[in-house]
Amino acid sequence: MLRVALRNVRAHLVRLGLSILAVVLGVSFVAGTFALREMLSTTFDGIVDAGYVGDVYLRGTEDSSAMVQTGSSAGAVRNTIPADLADVATGVDGVDLALADFTGPIVLVGADGTAVTGAGAPSFAVAYSEADPTSEISQGAAPTDATQFALEVASAESAGLSIGDSTTLVIGGELHEATLTGLIDMGASMAGATIVFLDEATAAATYAPDGLVATISVFGDGSTSDQVLTERVRDAVEAAGSATPVEAVSGTDMREEARSDIETMLGFVETFLLIFAGISLFVGAFIISNTFAMTVRQRQREFALLRAVGASPLQVFSSILVQAAVVGALGGALGIAGGLGLVTALKSMFAAMGMDLAGDIPITTSIVVISLVLGVVVSVVSAAVPARRAALVPPVEAMREDSPAPAGSLRVRGIIGVVFAGAGAGAVVAAVVQAAADDSASTGGLLGLGAVAVVIGALVLAPVLARPVLTVLSAPFVAWAKPLGKLAQGNVTRNPRRTASTASALMIGMCLVGAASVLAASTQASMRSVVENESLADLVIQSASGMVPSGAVSDIAALPEVGVADAVTLDSFFVSEASATEEPAMLYALGSSPSTFGRTWQTTTVEGDLATLADGSIAVQEKTATAENWGIGDVLTVSSQRGTVTAPIGAIFSSAALDTPLVMADTSFDQLSVAPADQVTILLVKGADGVSVQELKSAVTAAAAPYVIVSVQDNEEFVSGLASQVDQMLTILYALLGLSIVIAILGIINTLALSVIERTREIGLMRAVGLGRAQLATTIAIESVLTAVFGTVLGLVVGVALAAGIPTVFSSSGLTDLVIPWGSLVTMLVIAVVVGVLAAGWPAIRAARLPVLEAVTVD
């Protein structure tokens, strides 16, 4: 039977071709994901090895504010430590050198006059030291004062700067003209990060004015092991009696921690991409199942002959599964090559964006094995039901002339589908009703489970719905394209299981696309509504680096056209109720002048009065107060490594835009914040009396221009900027889902092509009684359009219905408006028609070219 199975694969390779292609596309995504992750892991491992070459590191022991060091470790941010502990470590036996790591954010202006931003990678400065083994000058000379700087070689290339060029640096919120004096090769790809080297005095004054740093790097003289050296440094620091918590960690442990943190982040990316790969393979499974179902139907007489000469049902079943395994193995092998091609394209794209990935494209044993196994398993499982049907067909029945396999009743399937869809719809409704009654209720999980059940129910019900829905959808064709419309209607409704299976592949993709479109439109409308309701400012000033330089803030505030400029800064602190005994939680807080509220920003006060901020009170977001069971008058303890503030709750507010738990007056906030004191998160500007918004914007734009990274937007532009971010995410989502839709289109082509083979005699008879080639091609095109539109309509209805509940469930997160983008949905229906016409091309041409005499004599 193995020989028979392999011979059948060779004989029907064309029929199985699109099934193989479906496996190739799905497996390519899987193989590409693993290969990309491997490359990213190799790249970041190189960064870790280049950045942490010390034998021992001193660092804080306590989690601290989330904004201590921009561009520092990927892991938890800790309290800073005294830089002069480097002198203590230097005196330890076995230590050759100890350096305080002065580092922080910087903006480098490239040769084109714009800020250098490599694919969204960080831009930071570090102190250059001749003794530091990680930063040896490869070309030129080291910086000696604030008018000079050096660059990592890839950063210089992306900036378009050469030794001797002068440019602008934004350091500590101020503009500095400086000259590039040297280049430093760190021995590894920095993945697009912009690394600027400043002289040690400038870096220390800018990033550690209080004498505190994030880490101190300790280098041994090679006379002892890292472990022993770590213990010696730890003992010396403890003997010195540091006022802040300090710990000594070996370089090996430091590197392992950094790698672990990076692996966690890469794991999220991998999971995200594999979800879409899984969707693609699931959609591909429909094609494989459909192909084998139709092939089994066409080869019933062949299976009957096998049974007649002694083949058992198990042998027939096994022979079909072997064919499926061959399809999966071929698809998996080609998918590996496709995945590597995909990663090659991504690597080139990243390089064009300024992010160079290290190393060659990996072809590991695990990638090969997983890809092959996945392709085989998906194919075998998809072919199992058709194989079982072939094995159980009685030989005598299969030998009858033109005897199709009896179609089972759809009653049981309909009941199962109704149960799934009904239970899922009930869960979705319950989640929405519960969320509407209680904003703080967490019903997202119930909504998700209900959505999955509804989608499963829709897939199960698809054959039951196919005949009535397609009858309605085909009515225009029946009325306007006689008799071709009636012929096409009969063909698509004759076998509802096959039509539904073909359309279901497209339904899955369109369901996700429809839900994403509703979610994106609702998000954009909600953001617009929030900004219009809460912002009283004429202009919103932001920075590409996330922090507006202090120089820009003061320059803008000093303009005669500006009436008010309110600075808002974000940081996070440890917060607990003063009388509580449990561990404090780390919560984000906004710091601003109390007069900001009612002047440039307004928000809903649920209880109390925001004016109490001026008296040192704290305002708490309503959902935070509910979760923590806090009320007006409760005293909170807010602390950071800089100190502690104890204050009562003076107001409870509700704001979708200010999605932070706490708001504090700037006087209290500044006592705690370890964010750069000379930089703010956002600046809200209102014009002076008699100054138009356009005049104000022109003046502010001119003042902000030298700072390069600062953007000046009115409320409409601010909302549009937020909306464009949603559009970018939606574009990525569409691109990923596009693969599943492409596979679904292949499914339509595959079904039509096999249907032409199956109906060869019928086509020949229609041609013989006068049906022209163009009419035949049109009939097949109508069948294709009806199948595509059926899948699209079913998918969009399910997706839109499920997405309609999301704004209510997540209203506390800022989704306040439900918007259904009817224009986009209509566009998708039009695309479905176009897809149907294009998918019918090859099958229609093939059918039209069938010789009439040969067709009518097909056995």
3-state SS string over 545-608? CCCEEHHHHHHHHCCCCEEEEEEEEEEEEEEEECCCCCCCEEEEEEEECHHHECCCECCEEEEE
Q: Is residue 576 part of a domain?
A: yes
Q: Which of 266-270, 508-512, 671-675 has the highest mean pLDDT?
A: 508-512
Domain end among 659, 691, 708: 708
Q: Which DSSP state fits 356?
A: P
Tell me the torsion sign for CA atoms 702, 704, 710, 716: negative
Of 692 and 762, the one with more pLDDT:
692
Q: Are residues 169 and 246 both part of a single domain?
A: yes
Percent of the chain with pLDDT over 90: 24
Per-residue pLDDT reduced to its tens digit, 192-201: 788 899 999 9
Q: Is residue 617 part of a domain?
A: yes
Q: Are residues 485 and 616 both part of a single domain?
A: no
Domain end among 665, 683, 708: 708
Write down the pLDDT at residue 687.
Answer: 92
Q: Are residues 522 and 627 both part of a single domain?
A: no
Q: Are residues 846 and 724 both part of a single domain?
A: yes
Once rounded to an integer, what is the mean pLDDT over residues 599-612?
90
Contacts by residues 843-847 (CB-CB < 8 Å, ≥ 24 positions apart): 843/749, 843/752, 843/753, 843/755, 843/756, 843/780, 843/784, 844/752, 844/776, 844/777, 844/778, 844/780, 844/781, 845/777, 846/753, 846/756, 847/756, 847/763, 847/776, 847/777, 847/780
Percent of the chain with pLDDT over 70: 91
Q: Are residues 619 and 684 both part of a single domain?
A: yes
Residue 42: pLDDT band (50, 70, 90) is confident
Structural domain boundaries enclosing 623: 545-708
Q: Is residue 845 part of a domain?
A: yes
Q: Which helix (H) or strand (E) holds 93?
A: none
pLDDT at 324 over 70: yes
Write down the pLDDT at residue 66.
Answer: 41
Once rounded to an integer, what is the mean pLDDT over residues 678-682?
75
Write down the pLDDT at residue 74.
Answer: 43
Q: Is residue 379 part of a domain?
A: no
Terminal-residue alpha carbon distance, the chain = 24
Q: Is residue 657 part of a domain?
A: yes
Predicted TM-score of the model (pTM): 0.74
Q: Are residues 484 and 573 both part of a single domain?
A: no
Q: Are residues 559 and 658 both part of a single domain?
A: yes
Q: Is residue 689 part of a domain?
A: yes
Q: Are residues 195 and 114 both part of a single domain?
A: yes
How many structural domains compose the chain?
A: 3
Q: Are residues 623 and 572 both part of a single domain?
A: yes
Write down the pLDDT at residue 65.
Answer: 46
Q: Please state, rounded to an integer, the average pLDDT across all residues of the chain.
A: 83
Q: Are residues 83 and 158 both part of a single domain?
A: yes
pLDDT at 743 over 50: yes
Q: Is residue 433 part of a domain?
A: no
Q: Is residue 768 part of a domain?
A: yes
Q: Are residues 562 and 699 both part of a single domain?
A: yes
Once rounded to an integer, what is the mean pLDDT over residues 311-330?
85
Of 605 and 22, the one with more pLDDT:
605
Domain end among 678, 708, 738: 708
Q: Are residues 96 and 146 both part of a single domain?
A: yes
